[in-house]
Amino acid sequence: MTEQLDSNGRLRHLLTLEGLPRPVLLRLLDRAQALREHAFDGTALRATLAGKAVCNLFFEPSTRTRSSFRLAATRLGADTLDFDASTSSTKKGESAADTLRTLEAMGVHGFVVRHPDDGAVAALARVAGDGTALVNAGDGRHAHPTQGLLDMLTLRQARGDDFAAMKVLIVGDVRHSRVARSDLHALRILGAGDIRVCGPQSLLPDDGTLSGCTVSGDFDAALEGVDAVMMLRLQRERMAQGLVSSLEDYHRDYGLTEARLRRAAPDAVVMHPGPMNRGVEIDAAVADGPQSLVLRQVGNGVAVRMAVLEALLAR
Amino acid sequence: MTEQLDSNGRLRHLLTLEGLPRPVLLRLLDRAQALREHAFDGTALRATLAGKAVCNLFFEPSTRTRSSFRLAATRLGADTLDFDASTSSTKKGESAADTLRTLEAMGVHGFVVRHPDDGAVAALARVAGDGTALVNAGDGRHAHPTQGLLDMLTLRQARGDDFAAMKVLIVGDVRHSRVARSDLHALRILGAGDIRVCGPQSLLPDDGTLSGCTVSGDFDAALEGVDAVMMLRLQRERMAQGLVSSLEDYHRDYGLTEARLRRAAPDAVVMHPGPMNRGVEIDAAVADGPQSLVLRQVGNGVAVRMAVLEALLAR
Amino acid sequence: MTEQLDSNGRLRHLLTLEGLPRPVLLRLLDRAQALREHAFDGTALRATLAGKAVCNLFFEPSTRTRSSFRLAATRLGADTLDFDASTSSTKKGESAADTLRTLEAMGVHGFVVRHPDDGAVAALARVAGDGTALVNAGDGRHAHPTQGLLDMLTLRQARGDDFAAMKVLIVGDVRHSRVARSDLHALRILGAGDIRVCGPQSLLPDDGTLSGCTVSGDFDAALEGVDAVMMLRLQRERMAQGLVSSLEDYHRDYGLTEARLRRAAPDAVVMHPGPMNRGVEIDAAVADGPQSLVLRQVGNGVAVRMAVLEALLAR
């Protein structure tokens, strides 16, 4: 997918990590790392996007992701606007494209878009005007590229640059997870040497998503010697859908406990995109334990979003 | 209605365009035109309302209008506050007047007010303190003066200053439309030479609203030679009320199609306050066609609101 | 409760007024008084919290209190974030502690927290990181310390510094009122000489809340000669709970009318935390009369919140 790059190879939108050139991805990570150090307090960076407006255009609610993007935009000096499209004129039958064009006409040129449908953000990008940049903040089960970036930044901080030597395990509901898809894209671009995926058959994708991964239903076996365990959130609706028999069963087979974690490398790190279901996919002792990077992921998320907004809008 | 002017003839509130002196109206349009050119990016105007607070006080939801006013206030440097009165203490039985006085006591002196009842904003203005200014962002079917202003600005940009020579047609649910009322007030003040109104009998007002207009139920005839067609949104609830038999019938009789538009002057412009029901009152080919000014209206809306807030609050 | 002070006796959080050292309380009042004079317009104080983020973390809705804190933070130059925890990931089962830690990881270090449960804000403060400050914006029936402070500021402005000579009457649903508890704490710290409490037996607390107060069910008698009447809001749900027989009965026995107010000192002042039920606990003639300080309370609220945020975060 090259439509997110302009003819000079510069990032115009961030829609997916799939097919993103490695140097573009690394540049974002490097910039986010630099911002991470000193960008959350103070006003040094306020000139970056001063006078520009960034709109959180959410067709699906998410206070957490919206807050992260909002803080990122604010710290770069942008004006921010929350447009909750689930309670607005879109309810009156207005199309997402009309909403986008309306906001563009008001002088908004940065959009952070979340949408329940796969590919909806890329579709919006195709109708956007020349000076407009979109960031996909999650579309259906398709992609959540800033989550993928922040996960890579976190991995790199903890385990260094040598992705080829890294053993990474992704666990849980990969089938419905845009987080997993974006992580897999990023890990491949960075050349991760050993990518493992583990979960119940009913929650694993049956398309090409997992090509090149070692897939297993046996969590204990999959954990052996890994450097990083990336847990996914289990949506409780999977039970109603009959994809999971019970939370207890799920925890028994795919919950990360302290005992289980000992199968991983001694200094293995644990990640989770949040919000966590403690006691379901992850035990509190692990979530809050010394190997957990969950809160560092959150902080890195703001830095990554600042790097992305800067790359797209600071022109 | 002179209560919106102070004893020196200066605008104190903007409640309606009815009876607004022509020079006051023209001054707002001229200033909006100047702002339109270069005011949406950058921070040149941030000192205008720096340190002042502008509150969107909405007793009826409208993300679109609220966003437009919010961007206008932000670009003038004001602090903005959204007070959604449909989910707040007004629900606990507090009166609109108490809500206004409470916010005034907090140091808010600019209010953008939307209310479902005719005249509610003027009633609030009567209890407001001396230093407080209100902008009517739509009250019932009564008035939506900034929409009237932005429509005039758009017309003037497209068709020039000679309103006396202009043939303008307003189409649709004029009976329930505050947009139409404000447009009619403005067109009369500017001396529009030929104002036509067209719609089904059930959706036309039977009071003095249309005095001086050429009224017709025949859309094709009414379109002959007009310079501008101002379409109104059809609320779907009109069907439930029995005022419209079906959307198909409405489209057949009052939907603006490309074929129909050919009856107007060759360079006629098409306007719509949005959000549009494509395929009902307007076809997509017209809405997105070369004669459509719909998005320019949206942009002009921000400029007009900046001009109004500046006139009321930059003292 | 000393956990809100650090080892140097400086305020780290503001959780309750109970046990707050008198000099700390007086310093906040003095600073709020200074801010009151000239802090609501202009941008003189914007450097105070520039680059810092303050989050309104509300587990219970309150547009009014949220707006007051938001204006206070904005006028000190802070970035503000509204996190409505009743419509967010906390609904997905995330704990309040995880929500707090997540926002901290995003670089938010000031939190204004409202919660329906007694003690919930103090519990959150115990899991907060070192650089984080919490302000209790109301927890259950436990405490609402900024309301207590603003009431004291208002009392002092109107009746001077000599609290020992002051006769103060609190009227209404003290049992369920965090406002009354915080007022009582503050009045004791300031050494109020005569604290009276009045209300129906069913709405008075049966714990130690009222120790040292003169308690009565007879409003007329309790009013005799008081310098200040602090009315409480009657929640309409008290009727459904059977604690109040009817609004009419309540008004007859505990509604503040002009006639009743004549029993108080001639220059007695009337206060109410808002929103008011006019015609229930207070008549409109009193609420809007010359002895009412209701709107001055609202203005003082912003000043007090500025003083508190400055004390906690401007380091």
Q: Which residues, in sequence order, are bridge partners of residue B231?
A: B171
Of B71, B236, B275, the CB nearest to A98: B275
H/E stretch holding A165 reads: none
Cα-to-chain-centroid distance, residue B230 = 12
CB A301 within 8 A of CB A71: no
Which tens digits make up the pLDDT trace of A34-74? 999 777 878 999 999 999 999 999 999 888 999 999 999 99
Mean pLDDT score, A73-88: 88
Please tell me if the domain spanning A2-144+298-313 has the same topology as the one spanning A146-293.
yes
Give the model's confidence band at C87: pLDDT under 50 very low, under 70 low, under 90 confident, else very high.
Answer: low
Predicted model pTM: 0.96
Q: Tokens 């004001």 label which residue?
A: B78
Chain A residue with Cα closest to C77: A43
Which tens digits make up the pLDDT trace of A111-141? 999 999 999 999 999 999 999 999 999 999 9
Q: Tokens 């002959």 label which residue?
A: B224
Give the model's confidence band at B1: pLDDT under 50 very low, under 70 low, under 90 confident, else very high.
Answer: very low
Q: Is the Cβ pair C89, A274 closer than 8 Å?
A: yes
- Domain A146-293: assigned CATH number: 3.40.50.1370
**Residue positions of C in the annotated binding site?**
64-65, 92, 114, 144, 147, 178, 233, 274-275
Report whether pLDDT(A286) > 90: yes
Mean pLDDT score, C94-118: 95
Q: How far apart are CA B148 and CA B134, in angstroms?
A: 16
Show the 3-state SS of A44-82.
CCCCCCCCCEEEEEECCCCHHHHHHHHHHHHHCCCEEEE
Give the model's confidence band at B93: pLDDT under 50 very low, under 70 low, under 90 confident, else very high.
Answer: low
Closest CA to B233 of B188, B199, B192, B196: B199
pLDDT on residue C1:
47
Q: How far apart are CA A39 and CA B245, in angstroms?
A: 60
Q: What percentage of chain C reaches a pLDDT higher than 90?
A: 86
Q: How far is CA C264 from CA C254, C257, C287, in A?
A: 14, 12, 15
pLDDT on residue B86:
74
Q: Are strands C79-84 and B53-58 parallel, antiparallel or unpaired?
A: unpaired
Joined tokens for residue A13: 């939108």
Q: Which residues, in sequence order, are bridge partners of residue A194?
A: A167
> Helix or strand or coil: residue C136?
strand
Torsion sign over Cα A86, A89, A94, A97: negative
Indicate the domain borders of chain C: 2-144+298-313, 146-293
Q: Is the Cβ pair A106, B68 closer than 8 Å?
A: yes
Chain C residue with Cα closest to A237: C92
Report whether pLDDT(A86) > 90: no
Mean pLDDT score, C7-30: 96
Of B42, B67, B298, the CB nearest to A83: B67
Chain A residues bordering chain C (beta-carbon distance below 8 Å): 40-43, 61-64, 67-68, 70-71, 74-75, 236, 274-278, 295-296, 298-299, 301-302
Taken as a whole, chain A contains a residue count of 315
Q: How near does any CA of chain B get to the CA of C97, in Å?
A: 26
Q: How far apart are CA B55 and CA B73, in angstroms?
A: 9
Range picked from B85-94, B96-105, C93-102 for highest mean pLDDT: B96-105
Of C42, C61, C299, the CB nearest to B105: C299
Helix axes B294-313, B145-159, angle to 10 degrees: 120
> ipTM value of the model?
0.95
Q: Which CATH number fits domain A2-144+298-313: 2.40.100.20, 3.40.50.1370, 3.40.50.720, 1.25.40.20?
A: 3.40.50.1370
CB C141 within 8 A of CB C164: no
CB B141 within 8 A of CB B20: no
- B145 assigned binding-site residue: no
Q: How far apart are CA B67 and CA B275, in angstroms?
A: 14
Q: Is the Cβ pair B63, A53 closer than 8 Å?
A: no
Q: How far apart are CA A78 and CA A80, in angstroms?
A: 6
Which residues in chain A touch residue B67, judged by CB atoms under 8 angstroms apart? 81, 83, 103, 106
Cis peptide before B275 (omega within 30 of 0): yes
Q: Centre a 10 Å sphere on the Cβ of residue A211 and count the other Cβ atoms it contains.
A: 9
pLDDT on residue B265:
98
Best mutation target, B38, B41, B48, B239, to test chain A (most A CBs within 10 A): B41
Which residues in chain B touch residue A88, judged by CB atoms under 8 angstroms apart? 61, 63-64
DSSP string, chain B: --TTB-TTS-BS-B--STT--HHHHHHHHHHHHHHHHH-SSSSTTTTTTTT-EEEEEESS--HHHHHHHHHHHHHTT-EEEEEEGGGSGGGGT--HHHHHHHHHHTT--EEEEEESSTTHHHHHHHHS-TT-EEEEEEETTTB-HHHHHHHHHHHHHHH-S-GGG-EEEEES-GGG-HHHHHHHHHHHHTT-SEEEEE--GGGS--SGGGTTSEEES-HHHHHTT-SEEEE----THHHHTTSSS-HHHHHHHH-B-HHHHTTS-TT-EEE--S---BTTTB-HHHHTSTTB-HHHHHHHHHHHHHHHHHHHH--
Listed as own residue / partner, the contacts of C85-88 with beta carbons closer than 8 Å and 24 or more positions apart are C85/A63, C85/C57, C85/C58, C85/C59, C86/C58, C86/C59, C86/C60, C86/C61, C87/A61, C87/A63, C88/A61, C88/A63, C88/A64
Report whether pLDDT(B149) > 90: yes
Q: Which residues, in sequence order, are bridge partners of residue A197?
A: A170, A215
Cβ neighbourhood burial of C117 (10 Å; 0-12, 13-18, 19+): middle
Mean pLDDT score, C59-72: 94
In the chain, the amino acid numbered A283 is D
Q: How near does any CA of chain B get to the CA of C45, in Å?
A: 10
Q: How near does any CA of chain A get to the CA of B239, in Å?
A: 15
Q: Is the Cβ pair A296, C105 closer than 8 Å?
A: yes
Torsion sign over Cα A138, A141, A142, A147: positive
Which tens digits make up the pLDDT trace of C204-213? 999 889 999 9
pLDDT on residue B2:
54
pLDDT on residue A241:
87
Give the model's confidence band at A3: pLDDT under 50 very low, under 70 low, under 90 confident, else very high.
Answer: confident
Chain B residues bordering chain A (beta-carbon distance below 8 Å): 40-43, 61-64, 67-68, 70-71, 74-75, 236, 274-278, 295-296, 298-299, 301-302
